[in-house]
Amino acid sequence: MARTLALPLIALAIAAPAATAPTFKRDPLFSDEERAAILAYWSEPGRYEAAPAVDAKGAKKWVARYTSQGSIWIRELYRLRADGKVIPTKTPEAQNEQQRKWDAWVEARCQLDKWQAEQDAAKNLAIELGLAEPTQPTRERPADPGEMPSDLLEVLPPPPAFYAAVVPYVHSVAFEDDAVTYEDNVTVPHKYAYYRFEQGVRSGGIKVADRAAPYIALLLERAEIGETERKVFSAVSLLEGGFDSVNTYDTGFVSVGFIQFASLSTGSGSLGAVLLSMKTKAPEAFQEHFRRFGVDVTSDGFLAVLDPTTGVEAVGPEANKRIIADKRLVAVFQRAGRLSTDFNVAQLATAKQLYYPIDDELRVEFGGKVLTCRVREVFKSEAGLATLMDRKVNTGKLEPLGEYLYDLVAQTGITDLKEASKWEWALTRAMAYRVNYLDLATLSQPARLDIALSRGSNPRDKRGGGGGEE
């Protein structure tokens, strides 16, 4: 499998077409008998334990950790220089001397906050151990950056603390046939823009590439994914995650699976689509791996859970909150990714349905005429398809392809949109997002016919598509 680059999980937290959060009252999803059985299961001794993390000496593990509020502030800073849109895995560079000065102040403030959190953690540990002074060695205090630049203060409020002293909790969940352990307050990259939930957890799971080859072949066959599609999936780094990976700390809210199918703020998203696919096609397996533990999905694709402690049902955004807070519900998803073939087939099939772009319609209005065709009639190379899939995986849509096609039609005068295939190389180059797949020798490439393309000044293409979170 061709590896393009190592990507953090957030880069793969993908979005399905946006859904509207449920606001009306729903009938109960679980019967009284099911509710009683689920509560009885989770109340059994040893099913769930949570305790503060401890160090080698058995003392609470006080550490300095990045804060979600600091992350939100950083996100807004990045948005100022990226027209509101930040490409996953890429930090928007400062565009001028003013922004470089802002960055220098923010970096200095981050370092000072981190140092202070380290001091607080050392003091708290000393108090716990009954010591008069901390015994841990401390690094030199970073320089104080002073007051926030006045011109930055005009566009953003003062930042919260970027770091805080915390004690992570260790959460252990045991099923009759599997067990998992998580630690909250996860570590994230410096000045990470997507961290949202300190109580969230993550687990990378078992990489698809490390699963037995015959098993993966079976999954691909059942999901009707052919060799070309597999090569494109691999090129977009889609087969490097784990079917059992989970992440509940970032802007995806609840993200699960080999490309981090995300529930997003509505509690639906592509994760809801995966669950609905499995529930529809393999209801017995869905009962075995989800419903009997208190996890379900509504007929319109919203997550639904039964609180393992109170028995209260929650749907959509409220289900998000319950899953993030209760690691037993997180563990249900991870167990399914490890043990359920039907869940893994649903992941692959949903990825193909939502993000493989070959049958998407392309549409351009120009000169009083409407030109249409399918992606497959313009993008015929694996490199071209990988480029478009990379866009869909990370943004949920193919924009701004319509604008480039409009510009191409205006320049060349073509009257059949299928003729745009002659310039597939130029279109692919223009649509490159995280990676330039034209440089990947393992993929078939379009013939090179160059043309200067820009995003049309008056594009009329209105092809729809779902938007990503934030």
pLDDT in tens, 99-133: 999 999 999 999 999 999 999 999 999 998 888 88
Q: Both 195 and 334 in a single domain?
A: yes
* Alpha carbons 83 and 470: distance in angstroms, whole number: 12
Cα dihedral across residues 274, 277, 282, 283: positive or negative: positive
Size of the chain, expressed as the number of residues it contains: 470
Q: Which of 355, 325, 297, 301 is nearest to 12 (CA)?
A: 355
Is the pLDDT reported for residue 89 higher than 80? no
CB atoms within 10 A of CB 368: 5
Q: Which of 286, 320, 354 is the last residue of a domain?
A: 354
Asked whether residue 4 is domain-assigned, the answer is no
323 and 188 part of one domain: yes
Q: Which residue has the higher pLDDT, 468 or 30?
A: 30
- Cβ atoms of 265 and 317 closer than 8 Å: yes
Q: Which two tokens stand for residue 237?
A: 């780094």
Longest Cα separation, the chain: 82
Q: Is residue 453 part of a domain?
A: no
Q: What are phi and psi of 179, to 5 degrees?
A: -150, 145
pLDDT at 301: 96
- 219 domain-assigned: yes
pLDDT at 12 over 60: no
Q: Are residues 238 and 121 in the same domain?
A: no
pLDDT at 393: 86
pLDDT at 240 over 80: no
Distance CA 239, CA 205 (A): 13
Mean pLDDT of 364-393: 95
Angle at Cα 342 formed by Cα 340 and Cα 343, nearest 5°? 70
Q: Is residue 73 part of a domain?
A: yes
What value does the mean pLDDT take over residues 329-338? 98
Q: For residue 136, what is the DSSP state? A: S
Task: Classify residue 464: in a domain, yes or no.
Answer: no
Q: Identify whether residues 85 and 146 lie together within a single domain.
A: yes
Task: Indicate the residue among 314, 338, 354 that finishes a domain.
Answer: 354
Q: Which of 115, 137, 166 finishes a domain?
A: 166
DSSP state of 358: T
Q: What is residue 11's predicted lDDT score, i.e. its pLDDT?
A: 30
pLDDT at position 88? 64
**DSSP character at residue 213:** H
Please check whether residues 181 and 288 belong to one and the same domain.
Answer: yes
Q: Tell me whether residue 447 is in a domain.
A: no
Return the sign of the alpha-carbon dihedral for residues 304, 308, 310, 311: positive
Nearest to 53 by CA among 160, 183, 151: 183
pLDDT of residue 395: 83
Average pLDDT over residues 376-398: 93
Strand partners, 48: 173
The token pair that represents 44 in the structure block: 């059994």
Residue 463 pLDDT > 60? no
Same-domain check for residues 207 and 99: no
Q: Could you list the residue range(s) of the whole structural domain that residue 210 is in?
A: 37-49+169-354
For helices 97-129 and 68-80, what crossing angle results, to 10°?
Answer: 180
Name every residue whose Cβ is closer than 8 Å to that of residue 118 and which is 6 or more positions away in sequence.
Answer: 64, 138, 139, 163, 165
pLDDT tens for 25-65 read: 678 899 999 999 999 999 999 999 999 999 888 899 999 99
**Whether residues 321 and 266 fall in one domain:** yes
Closest Cα partner for 210 from 258, 173, 175? 258
pLDDT exceeds 90 at position 81: no
Q: pLDDT tens for residues 142-184?
A: 999 999 999 999 999 999 999 999 999 999 999 999 999 999 9
**pLDDT tops 60 at residue 1:** no
| Model pLDDT, residue 21 | 53
Distance CA 357, CA 385 (A): 7
Measured CA to CA, the distance from residue 144 to residue 147 in angstroms comes to 9
Task: Judge if 147 and 121 occupy the same domain.
Answer: yes
On whether the CB atoms of residues 390 and 435 are closer than 8 A, the answer is yes
221 and 147 in a common domain? no
| In a shared domain, residues 264 and 303 | yes
Instruction: Determine, yes or no, domain membership for 245.
Output: yes
> What band does 13 get if pLDDT is binned at 50, 70 and 90?
very low
pLDDT band at 23 (very low <50, low <70, confident <90, very high): low
Predicted local distance difference test score (pLDDT) of residue 462: 41
Strand partners, 183: 170
Total domain count, the chain: 3
Residue 26 within a domain: no
Measured between alpha carbons, how far is residue 218 from residues 94, 288, 347 in Å? 48, 21, 14
Classify 354 as helix, strand or coil. Answer: helix
Higher-pLDDT residue of 162 and 459 is 162
Whether 45 and 68 map to the same domain: the answer is no
Question: Per mean pLDDT, which range of 8-22, 35-49, 181-195 is the poorest?
Answer: 8-22
Q: How far apart are CA 320 and CA 462, in angstroms?
A: 32
Confidence at residue 56, expressed as pLDDT on a 0 to 100 scale: 85
61 and 131 in one domain?
yes
